[in-house]
Amino acid sequence: MPQSLDVDQILKRARPITDQRAHEIQPFGHLVRMPIALDATVCQESVENLNQLLADTMTLRDMYKKHHWQVAGPTFYSLHLLFDKHYKEQSELVDEIAERIQLLGGVSVAMAHDVADTTLIPRVPKGREEVPVQISRLLHAHEIVLREARSMARIAADKGDEGTNDLLVSSVVRTNELQAWFVGEHVVDVPTVRASERAEGS
Nearest CA to 44 out of 26, 57, 32 is that of: 32
> Which of the four pLDDT bands, split at 50, 70 and 90, describes residue 7?
confident
CB 66 within 8 A of CB 131: no
How many C-beta neighbours within 10 Å does residue 27 have? 8
Nearest CA to 105 out of 50, 150, 56 is that of: 50
Nearest CA to 148 out of 55, 53, 58 is that of: 53
Buried b (16+ CB within 10 A) or exposed e, 158-187: ebebeebbebbbebbbebbeebbeebeeee
d(CA 27, CA 15): 30
pLDDT tens across 11-61, in order?
A: 888 888 888 899 999 999 999 999 999 999 999 999 999 999 999 999 999
Give me the pLDDT at residue 17, please: 87
d(CA 99, CA 57): 14
Task: Compute the mean pLDDT over every residue in the chain, rounded to the nearest whole number.
Answer: 93
Nearest CA to 58 out of 101, 98, 27 is that of: 98
Return the percentage of the chain with pLDDT > 90, whole number. 80
User: Does residue 195 surpass a pLDDT of 60?
Assistant: no
Rounded to an integer, the average pLDDT of 153-173 is 98
Buried b (16+ CB within 10 A) or exposed e, 109-145: beeeeebeeebebeebeeeebebeebbebbeebbebb
Output the pTM of the full model: 0.88
Give me the pLDDT at residue 121, please: 98
Give me the pLDDT at residue 1, please: 53
User: Does residue 82 surpass a pLDDT of 90?
Assistant: yes
d(CA 65, CA 87): 6
Rounded to an integer, the average pLDDT of 173-201 is 80
Give me the pLDDT at residue 10, please: 84
C-alpha 37, offset from chain centre = 27
CB 84 within 8 A of CB 68: yes
d(CA 113, CA 132): 28
User: Does residue 178 surpass a pLDDT of 80?
Assistant: yes
